[in-house]
A and B are shown apart, each in its own frame.
Chain A
Amino acid sequence: MADLAIRNLVKRYDKTEVLHGISLDVEDGEFVVFVGPSGCGKSTTLRLIAGLEDATSGEIVIGGRVVNNLEPKDRDIAMVFQNYAIYPHMTVRKNIGFGLRTSKMSKADKEARIDEVAGILGMSDLLARKPSQLSGGQRQRVAIGRAMVRDPAVFLFDEPLSNLDAQLRTQMRLEIKKLHQRVGNTIIFVTHDQVEAMTMADRIVIMKDGHIQQVGTPAEVYHKPANTFVARFIGAPSMNMLSGTVANGALQMASGSTVDLGVGLPEGRHVTVGVRPEDLHPGAGPALVRGPVTVREPLGHETLIYVGAEGQEVIAKADGRTPPEVGEEVTLTAALDTLHIFDAATGDALR
């Protein structure tokens, strides 16, 4: 097992630079999830770590070794692909054993290792089957098995759950997390699904346009987003963004009310006030938003209400039993410590 580090990693295709010098340290045994919209460079980063593509500049260090000039097989990594990349003409046993082809183990040791991995993944009785006889989740497990059998320092997962249906995805998410707790290898997991990132990761790396936006634990990126992009990307439904200005040390909201946060903010600055739907609710307190309810979405224990204000729709949480009627004017408020303040110009968090 080993730690992994990337330093000033740059990737350029002809003249287009897709990764602009990213750096990251991953500790031994850590589960790190790269998340971001498509085209943000997360898969490219993974392929660079795997050695399937060459870095334009920068260093990749695995277990204290710079691996830039090593072939993928010499990097002590294993990868699980989005389409599983398991061979349809081979049995499960041969597929899992494929990762051991170059190993110097004896044949008996190899067989024992395959059986051990199959046991961990709960598919000992499926070893003689062909992939076409397996379900999607089982195929996924074969792909993981093939990676596990080599006992690599670092596991790389490239959106492995996106071909599964919603229910199976939830289940495999849990299985991969349990597997990580059991085998303890370092895992780098790429996904575009923020729920996957939140639920599985020890630390989340949020990327956009070839830059890292924020690195942190799920709680950190959720409660202390570094900028408006992270704030909107993490959490569903996404964070409401309201505009305001700082006047006399207090927030002057577009709704007309003034909110004194009791912290020093740069005077006269235009700011974006972020508030998560679950923190925003109708009631007495500093009025952040005023407007008519346009749509109600009952979820049973609570009701989401959409309120038209400031030329946009703001989502708030209302009581499940007695929500406001559609068309009713409501005043939305939130606890002051749940407000996120961003610079309106740069999008960076001010508090």
Chain B
Amino acid sequence: MYRNLTIRQKQIVWAWAFLAIPILFYSVIRFYPTGNAILISFQDWNLLGDRTWTGLDNYQKLFADPVFWKVFKNTFVYLLIGTPVSLLISFVIAYHLDQVRFMHGFLRTLYFLPFMTSAVAMAWVWRWFYQPVPVGLFNNALASIGIPQFPFLQSTTWALPSVLAPAGWAGLGFQVIIFMAGLRAIPRSYYEAARIDGVSWWTVLWEITLPLLKPTIVFIVVFSSIGFLRIFDHVFNMTTNNPGGPLNSTKPLVLMIYETAFSAFDMGYAAAQTVVLFLVLLVVSLIQLRILRDS
């Protein structure tokens, strides 16, 4: 029977045969749990007992919950500080690293190293850096030059930036590598032509390099935004005695979901939060793609 098919029909058969595996995987591992989560968000369930239909109760509870709004705001602070700052720093590093010939490979490896390191280990090392005198590295350094101690993880104002710093640092290596690949893809003659025209360094950067890097920038912005919106490991490991503290000042949405599900065992409520996170990620990504898309 297979023999009698046209070449095109044979290709279709093979295409579906190969597609079957990812389709099966996505259905079982991705789409089924997603659908199930949406379903649970309309139910009340403690993980063991019966599921009871409660309609929009979970969502009403969520929107009336002050902790949810605090956490919602935190999540966006992570996003709105983390993405632009890490984008800027990684571009500056990549731009200069691209011009360095001396030990280029070694330096690039150094920048990439944090990306390969376990987030948990990194969070604990940074947590140690932030401790008060005589344990913490930073406060010891401050003390030795006579500056008062800084309450990195104890302050409700400074705890979030303190958690954000290592999280941004961890992703930097990846962004630097992507930026460097983008910079390498710009033909040298573009710069040589600009040099002959005698335009300033700033004009070259602003009117040649950055516009030509736009696809790279879109990619990094979308990826890093999704990363910051889903931030969890760093927060959880740096604030284990009081997850998301002090006073929920560092708690992101994912941590709230985790606690609702696996400390309070309120699966329906956690599922509702998950659905909100999903929608936020979807909307943010779509907006970014639209704004930064090639005209």
A52–B196 alpha-carbon span in the complex (Å): 8
A239 at the interface (CB under 8 A from B): no
A81 at the interface (CB under 8 A from B): yes
Do A99 and B197 touch (CB < 8 A)? yes
Among the 9-residue stretches B134-142, B143-151, B187-195, B280-288, the one with 4 or more Cβ atoms under 8 Å from chain A is B187-195
B66 at the interface (CB under 8 A from A): no
Do A85 and B198 touch (CB < 8 A)? no
Shortest CB-to-CB span from B101 to chain A, Å, is 13
Chain A residue at minimum C-beta to C-beta distance from B203: A101
B199 at the interface (CB under 8 A from A): yes
A229 at the interface (CB under 8 A from B): no
Shortest CB-to-CB span from A103 to chain B, Å, is 9
**Considering residues B194, B208, B212, which has the most beta carbons from chain A within 10 angstroms of its beta carbon?**
B194
Interface digits, A55-75 against B, CB 8 Å rule (1 contact, 0 not)?
000000000000000011110
Do B190 and A79 touch (CB < 8 A)? no
Q: Give chain A residues whose Cβ lies under 8 Å from the Cβ of B197.
A: 73, 98-99, 101-102, 146, 150
A309–B194 alpha-carbon span in the complex (Å): 56
Chain A 174-214 interface residues, beta-carbon cutoff 8 Å to B: none
Which one of B189, B199, B208, B212 lies within 8 Å of A83 (CB-CB)? B189
Assuming the contacts A52-B192, A79-B193, asked whether A85 and B187 have C-beta atoms less than 8 A apart, the reply is yes
Do B196 and A79 touch (CB < 8 A)? yes
Interface digits, A67-98 against B, CB 8 Å rule (1 contact, 0 not)?
00001111001110111010111100000001
Q: How large is the interface on A (under 10, 10 to 19, 20 to 34, 35 or more residues)?
A: 20 to 34
Do A72 and B196 touch (CB < 8 A)? yes
Q: Give chain B residues whose Cβ lies under 8 Å from the Cβ of A87.
A: 190, 207-208, 211-212
Do B190 and A52 touch (CB < 8 A)? no
Which one of B196, B212, B214 lies within 8 Å of A77 (CB-CB)? B196
Do B187 and A52 touch (CB < 8 A)? no
A50 at the interface (CB under 8 A from B): yes
Q: Give chain B residues whose Cβ lies under 8 Å from the Cβ of A50.
A: 192, 196
Q: Give chain A residues whose Cβ lies under 8 Å from the Cβ of B195.
A: 52, 71-73
A90–B211 alpha-carbon span in the complex (Å): 10
A98–B187 alpha-carbon span in the complex (Å): 17
A88–B189 alpha-carbon span in the complex (Å): 13
A85–B195 alpha-carbon span in the complex (Å): 12
Shortest CB-to-CB span from B183 to chain A, Å, is 16
A102–B207 alpha-carbon span in the complex (Å): 14
A164–B195 alpha-carbon span in the complex (Å): 25
A169–B44 alpha-carbon span in the complex (Å): 75
Chain B 167-210 interface residues, beta-carbon cutoff 8 Å to A: 187, 189-190, 192-199, 203, 207-208
Interface, chain B (partner A; CB < 8 A): 187, 189-190, 192-199, 203, 207-208, 211-212, 214
30 A–B pairs (Cβ distance < 8 Å), ordered by A: A50-B196, A51-B196, A52-B192, A52-B195, A52-B196, A71-B195, A73-B196, A73-B197, A73-B198, A81-B192, A81-B193, A82-B189, A83-B189, A85-B187, A85-B193, A87-B190, A87-B208, A87-B211, A89-B214, A90-B207, A98-B193, A98-B194, A98-B197, A99-B197, A101-B197, A101-B198, A101-B199, A102-B198, A146-B197, A150-B197
